[in-house]
A = this chain, B = another copy of it.
Amino acid sequence: MHGPLTVKNLLRYAKSPSATVKEVQGWIKSVRILKKMAFIDLSDGTSSQTLKIVVPRQDGTILKQLRTGQSLKIAEAIWKPTPTREQPFELEAKADDLKILGSVPENYPLQKKYHTLAFLRTLPTLKHRSNYLGALLRFRSIVENSLSEFFTSRDFTKTNPPILTAADCEGAGELFSVNAQSSKGNSDVNSYFGKSTYLTVSGQLHLEVLALALGRCWSLIPCFRAEESDTNRHLSEFWMLEAEISFVDDVRVLTSLVEDGIKHVVQSCLAQKTSIFPTIVPQEGAESPEMAIKLWEDIVNKSWPVLTYTEAISLLEKQHDSIQKFTFPPQWGQALQSEHEKWLASYFNAPVFVIDYPRDCKAFYMKQNSDGKTVACFDLVVPKMGEIVGGSIREDNYELLVQEMERRNMNMPSMEWYLSLRQNGSAPHGGFGLGLERLVAWLFGAQNVRDGVPFYRSANGSIEL
């Protein structure tokens, strides 16, 4: 027993229709009632395109009750080719064959007119029905599927590092702690697992365990940071794609992998570009479809520059000294600020890999370069969004890793398990983490990562549902 025909399916088979279509269902996007005809745009959420329904007027029918937002069932309709119009067909139905399944109140907020993103965000149960945010969610799904294809084609195993963990991957602080809510009453702190338990900030350390067993693995898991920054690039709960690959000791293998992966995604997007975007996009906070598609073409056609941190600082200093001051003066040894990253990407008008950062700017597990000052790592910075991927070769030598952890005064006993990997069949390996909401928002031309996830959690944000 099959489910109903979807609008996406009806549009896909537009060229070989049967004369009669049964049980078409969706939500009314707009309705216009003229003298002889009523015109309905119907969407069932499976496509950014709507079905055009034409209904000859009949008095005493439900036509006058139709309103935007209602769900509608059309028992039967006749397929009519419309070769001169954008959609190659329309469906003609009798008014008696229409049935309103669910109505809307008079003040239903998603009327046909244009809505700002700020307004839509105030409607957490309805906003996904807007053309733009609905399209953005479908886009995210395309991106996820395409990433999955890519990693499978490269012999990576999809896997699942844990969310509940005792490890604080980067020592970054800003953790969420977890307690069991006992059925007997108050929560008993830390008693359930016998020690302090946190939500993971990154699956990397666990992925390293798995990479030394499976060779190549990737994961897509929610990560959590109790961020205090409330920006358009930060979420408290975000999805992170991480990959880890063994028998690699050159950071350029990692940058090539990232470049190939994102290009693969963008190729998939280009292949279906006409159906991805809605016809109307918000006037603020969103690029036009034309701009996004131009971005995609640039992404696949260019080879992405790779420059060292030292080269990047030198470019930034030149800019700072001669042309335009940054808020934070660039200086060797300091982290790159978001303004620096964005400037670099816009200077090259392309995604840019910055590699070999100073060791003290980066995490303890990164492999030191032979210069004694930098580590074999990279960040991918892209125009407008800044950093979207970060990765490194990992230190696989036990003594060097212990030395670096001691230098940083880290808690060694809690990291015993991680260190032990370097004593048991250790192998050169490296990997990276990619913020999925940042990738999705950047590629779609959306300027706020909050719109890249259906229900966002952020600093100063409340949890309404």
Contact = CB atoms under 8 A, between A and B. Distances in A.
A163 B166 contact: no
A1 interface: yes
Among A3, A209, A224, residue most surrounded by chain B Cβ atoms (within 10 Å) = A3
A159 B141 contact: yes
Interface string A94-118: 0000000111110010000000000
A98 to B, nearest CB: 14
A84 interface: no
Contact of A25 (B213, B427, B461): B427
Contacts of A163: 163, 222, 224, 237
A176 B174 contact: no
A310 interface: no
Given A128-B210, A166-B463, A173-B183, A454 B198 contact: no
Nearest to A105: B423
Interface string A145-177: 100100010110111111111110000011111
A464 B205 CA distance: 13
A421 interface: yes
A4 B181 contact: no
A193 B103 CA distance: 33
A276 to B, nearest CB: 12
Contacts of A461: 193
A128 B209 CA distance: 8
Interface string A37-60: 000000011100000000000000
A246 B137 contact: no
Given A8-B155, A128-B210, A454-B161, A427 B101 contact: yes
A19 to B, nearest CB: 22
How often does this chain occur in the complex, in copies? 2
A257 interface: yes
A175 B183 CA distance: 8
Given A128-B210, A192-B226, A424-B126, A176 B177 contact: no
Interface residues of A, number: 120
A222 B161 CA distance: 11
Contacts of A210: 128, 137, 454
A214 B160 contact: no
A245 interface: yes
Contacts of A134: 213-214
Interface stretch (A247-255, A314-322, A375-383, A443-451): A247-255
Nearest to A163: B222
B140 A215 contact: no
A277 interface: no
Given A46-B214, A226-B180, A462-B194, A137 B159 contact: yes
Given A102-B396, A155-B46, A214-B46, A253 B3 contact: yes
A159 B157 CA distance: 21
Given A45-B213, A181-B226, A198-B181, A125 B420 contact: yes
Given A46-B157, A145-B152, A417-B465, 12 more contacts: A25-B246, A69-B425, A101-B427, A102-B427, A125-B424, A128-B213, A138-B214, A141-B158, A144-B158, A165-B463, A197-B463, A210-B454
Interface of A: 1-4, 6-9, 25-27, 44-46, 69-71, 73, 101-105, 108, 124-126, 128-129, 134, 137-138, 140-141, 144-145, 148, 152, 154-155, 157-167, 173-183, 187, 192-195, 197-199, 205-206, 209-216, 221-222, 224, 226, 228, 236-237, 239, 245-248, 250, 252-253, 255-257, 396, 417-418, 420-428, 453-455, 457, 459, 461-465
The 6 closest A-B pairs by CB, nearest first: A102-B426, A45-B215, A128-B213, A180-B226, A71-B427, A45-B214
